[in-house]
Amino acid sequence: MRNFDTFMSQLYETNQTLDFFCDFDKISKNVDDVKLSLCMLNSLIGTSDMRQAVETIWNRDRTAFNVMDILIAVRSEGKKKVLDSLGRCVELNTLFSSVDGVMEFLNNTGLASVFQSRKITNLVDYVFGVETGLDTNARKNRSGHIMEDMVSQIFIENQVEYRQEVYSREWPLITQVLGDDEKRFDFVVKTPIKTFLIEVNFYTSGGSKLNEVARSYSDIAPKINSVPGFEFVWITDGIGWKSARNKLQEAFVNIPSIYNLTNIDDFISIIKR
């Protein structure tokens, strides 16, 4: 018998392992991509004549300055806009197209002072730290991937065949009931009797996102379940749901197949039956 209070009491506090916090392979690659330019820019550190040092690099390889946005922890990619010294709205990377622009960037960001006072001693090491900081922005995505990996491992251990990241367009009847919006399911498990379309997520903290997810799944689950031979399954966990308890409870009523990491064995048993 399904019991919502029991479900809530089973929620995991975290799914974060130590490799969750930093993706050092990605960080290292990002640094390697700009390493040569950073080594050239190292000559700016400790210089008494910043403009002369900039001109020396400019005459040798002006493209070295194209990586300077990362020095202020920004990935501009030509899209970040700022106000220049004249109050004009310009794309950040346009400042790197002239010596005057580079000097404006160094002076107005404060980097010139930082370089001349040697508060930074090596830009490659410095950018490794910047990249590590920026990588924390990817943690929310990693939390979802960790949950998917956990569910995938459970399926493997129980010899459940599955597919990942499958689009709704594969089944015309599902496309028909869902309308124009194409849906990508995290997992699909097909048995001789039924095809299970599965969504997986994990939330360690609350927020409006949880309400949106619960509302969305409450909407699509009855539509999918109305198609003979198909069932929508939601595997979710994390104490973030405690702040969105009411919305999850509504979903619990509307979606017959909601599981967490504690009771997922019940779903495995259904599949095997």
The residue extents of the domains of the chain are 4-18+138-272, 20-136
The pLDDT, as a whole number, for residue 146 is 87
What CATH class does 4-18+138-272 carry? alpha beta
Q: Would the CA dihedral through 79, 80, 85, 89 be positive or negative?
A: positive
The pLDDT, as a whole number, for residue 76 is 65
The pLDDT, as a whole number, for residue 141 is 64
Could you tell me the pLDDT band of residue 168, with boundaries at 50, 70 and 90? very high
Are 66 and 102 within 8 A, CB to CB? Answer: no
The pLDDT, as a whole number, for residue 18 is 82
Q: Is the pTM of this model over 0.85?
A: no
The count of C-alpha atoms lying within 13 angstroms of the C-alpha of 160, restricted to the half-sphere facing its C-beta, is 26
